[in-house]
Amino acid sequence: MSLTAIALALIAANPSAGMPVAMLAEAPELAAQTLATGQAEEALATLEPASSANPHDPAVLINLGIAYARVGDEPKARAAFMQALGCQDVVELDTADGTTTDSRKLARKAIRMLERGEFRAGAARAGQLTYRD
């Protein structure tokens, strides 16, 4: 993702788990569709090289954290979310509900979701509410 351009992002729901996914138009390195369909292992195959190539891309880091959380690697998930939170550049993200949020705010939300166990398999099926705004 080029930080010189305005980032367009959406928060999409994973149909099986209600998890947020950062998506950029024409940015396959974000593996947004793969995450949105619940294919976390496949998403990791795209996101790990993308985060190595640009370790300061908060959208990639957030999705990487989500993928790690979905496969049960919460320490790596937390590290990715913290890295996104610590990125020097803050990227404005337009959400699906029409509001705008910044990448740090989204990273903080992801950390809270991780702490509440919302990324764990079955959390949404158990009737657990998810934070979506």
Query: How do residues 11-65 score in pLDDT, each as one tens digit?
Result: 333 333 444 556 554 466 788 778 878 899 999 999 999 999 989 999 899 989 9
What pLDDT, on the 0 to 100 scale, is given for residue 22? 62
CATH 3.10.580 fits 9-115, yes or no: no
Q: CB 104: neighbour CB atoms within 10 A? A: 15
User: Helix 58-70 vs helix 40-53: angle between axes, to the nearest 10 degrees?
Assistant: 150
Question: In this predicted model, what pLDDT tens digit does every residue of 70-104 receive, in sequence order?
Answer: 999 999 999 999 999 999 988 876 544 556 788 99
- Greater confidence (120 vs 67) lies with 67
Any idea where the domains of the chain sit in the sequence? 9-115
In DSSP terms, which residues pair with 93 in a beta bridge?
101
DSSP state of 38: T
Q: Is 111 exposed, middle or buried (0-12, 13-18, 19+ CB in 10 A)?
A: middle
- pLDDT value of position 98: 58
The whole-number pLDDT of residue 92 equals: 79
What pLDDT sits at residue 1?
34
Contacts of 48 (CB under 8 A, 6+ apart): 64
In this predicted model, what pLDDT tens digit does every residue of 117-128 receive, in sequence order? 998 876 554 444
Q: Report the C-alpha gap between 41 and 69 in whole angstroms.
A: 11
CB 99 within 8 A of CB 133: yes
Question: What does pTM read for this prediction?
Answer: 0.73
